[in-house]
């Protein structure tokens, strides 16, 4: 890992979090007395590698929370037998870190914390999992989902999947920065589409179909995460900051009025949906602080991403600011 970037292991802050000297907001740790940001939580390539091996479907908020609160066999059964030793150890470390920071619901969610690094494979797998359940989810909804809307959604999902694959392979090009910029620009349109579908779904009368909502919300967040990742890799930090700020505001506007009884199904599932959305929104709101810190300290985006990708031991690190 590059020594020029001042990373720390999250466990070093655990005692201060336990005593209340530090408080977490999204991916930030703040000093309670001064209000200053002490560090930014950031996943590494190790975290994305473990998550990639676990993706076997598109989890609902209920399965996210129930699986992660109990860090036992419910999570680990997705790990292949040949990989079980190392990956269980890494996953345990991930869950312990996230739980100590009270962001356990982000553990297997698609957003994570900080910027998305080495995550194109994970994101593509998650998108394929979403796509694989799309017909089943839509066919269960009869009101307001005509054939044309279904066909449009299918087409947009396919286009988004193709763009994520382009991002994944861009590093093999002679000029990857140009490809990253093109993918980021195209994904802005995809994000706008999914945002519109979410708004339409939320505007319909009656309970919100939670699985459809979750499919659309994950698709929107995937688009925005890949956009920020591409901007980081092409050293477009000012644009990455703008995308992060805009995304955080949109999540807040879309999700702020939702309550556990807004959704169809059990209140428990609705409550877990709101919990996950709250963590996602807080994490998104703190992301611009991280990007601005890199920009103002003149830390190149590709240097930062490379440092995180080179980390071999720790799924999460803290970028120190003081």
Ranking 27-36, 40-49, 55-64, 208-217 by mean pLDDT, the lowest is 55-64
* Three-state secondary structure call for residue 104: helix
**198: which 2 tokens?**
């979410």
* Residue 68 covered by a domain: no
Co-location of 145 and 275 in the same domain: yes
pLDDT at residue 96, rounded to an integer: 73
Whether the per-residue pLDDT at 124 is higher than 80: the answer is no
Q: How far apart are CA 289 and CA 245, in angstroms?
A: 9
Q: How far apart are CA 211 and CA 203, in angstroms?
A: 16
Q: How far apart are CA 135 and CA 298, in angstroms?
A: 46
Co-location of 216 and 135 in the same domain: yes
Q: Please state, rounded to an integer, the average pLDDT across all residues of the chain.
A: 79
* Residue 65 covered by a domain: no
Co-location of 163 and 253 in the same domain: yes
Co-location of 165 and 201 in the same domain: yes
Domain span at 234: 120-302
**271: which 2 tokens?**
């409550």
**Model pLDDT for residues 230-247, shown as the tens digit of each residue:** 999 999 999 999 999 999
Co-location of 34 and 130 in the same domain: no
Q: Rg of the chain over CA atoms, in angstroms?
A: 19
Co-location of 143 and 277 in the same domain: yes
Q: In which residue are the tokens 């990373």 written?
A: 7
**For residue 257, how many C-alpha atoms fall within 13 Å in the half-sphere facing its CB?**
7
Q: In which residue are the tokens 């556990």 written?
A: 260
Give the N- to C-terminal CA distance of the chain in Å, as an integer.
Answer: 20
Q: In which residue are the tokens 């956009």 written?
A: 227
* Residue 64 covered by a domain: no
* Residue 113 covered by a domain: no
Banded model confidence at residue 27, pLDDT cuts 50, 70, 90: confident
Co-location of 195 and 208 in the same domain: yes
**Model pLDDT for residues 169-225, shown as the tens digit of each residue:** 998 999 999 999 999 999 999 999 999 999 988 988 888 888 888 888 888 988 998
On whether the CB atoms of residues 110 and 59 are closer than 8 A, the answer is: no
Number of domains comprising the chain: 2
* Residue 73 covered by a domain: no
Co-location of 129 and 182 in the same domain: yes
Angle at alpha carbon of residue 306, lines to 302 and 309, rounded to 5°: 140
* Residue 219 covered by a domain: yes
**142: which 2 tokens?**
């009869």
* Residue 280 covered by a domain: yes
The full DSSP string for 235-268 is T-HHHHHHHHHHHHHHHHHHHTT--GGGBSS-HH
CA distances from 166 to 147, 159, 160, 181, 231 (A): 29, 11, 10, 11, 14
Co-location of 278 and 223 in the same domain: yes
Ranking 72-81, 199-208, 240-249, 284-293 by mean pLDDT, the lowest is 72-81
DSSP 8-state symbol, 111: -
Co-location of 198 and 173 in the same domain: yes
pLDDT at residue 120, rounded to an integer: 67
Co-location of 283 and 136 in the same domain: yes
């Amino acid at each position: 890992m590059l020594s020029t970037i001042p990373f720390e292991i999250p466990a070093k802050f655990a005692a201060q979090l336990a005593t209340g000297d530090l408080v977490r907001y999204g991916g930030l740790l703040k000093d309670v007395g001064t209000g200053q940001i002490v560090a930014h939580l950031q996943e590494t390539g190790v975290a994305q590698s473990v998550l990639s091996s676990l993706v076997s479907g598109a989890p609902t908020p209920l399965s996210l929370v129930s699986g992660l609160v109990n860090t036992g066999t419910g999570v680990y059964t997705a790990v292949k037998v040949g990989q079980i030793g190392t990956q269980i150890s890494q996953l345990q470390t991930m869950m312990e870190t996230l739980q100590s920071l009270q962001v356990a619901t982000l553990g297997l969610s698609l957003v994570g914390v900080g910027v998305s690094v080495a995550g194109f494979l994970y994101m593509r797998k998650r998108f394929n999992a979403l796509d694989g359940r799309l017909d089943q989810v839509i066919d269960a909804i009869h009101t307001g989902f005509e054939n044309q809307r279904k066909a449009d959604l299918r087409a947009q999902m396919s286009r988004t999947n193709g763009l994520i694959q382009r991002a994944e392979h861009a590093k093999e090009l002679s000029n990857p920065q140009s490809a990253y910029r093109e993918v980021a620009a195209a994904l802005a349109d995809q994000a706008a589409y999914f945002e519109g579908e979410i708004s339409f779904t939320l505007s319909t009368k009656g309970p919100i179909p939670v699985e459809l909502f979750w499919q659309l919300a994950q698709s929107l967040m995937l688009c925005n995460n890949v956009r920020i990742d591409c901007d980081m890799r092409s050293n477009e930090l000012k644009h990455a900051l703008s995308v992060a700020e805009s995304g955080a505001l949109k999540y807040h506007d879309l999700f702020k009025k939702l309550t556990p009884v807004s959704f169809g199904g059990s209140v428990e599932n609705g409550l877990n949906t709101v919990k996950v959305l709250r963590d996602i929104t807080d994490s998104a709101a703190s992301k611009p602080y991280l990007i601005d810190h890199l920009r103002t300290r003149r830390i190149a985006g590709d240097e930062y991403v490379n440092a995180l990708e080179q980390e071999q031991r720790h799924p999460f690190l803290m970028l120190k600011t003081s």
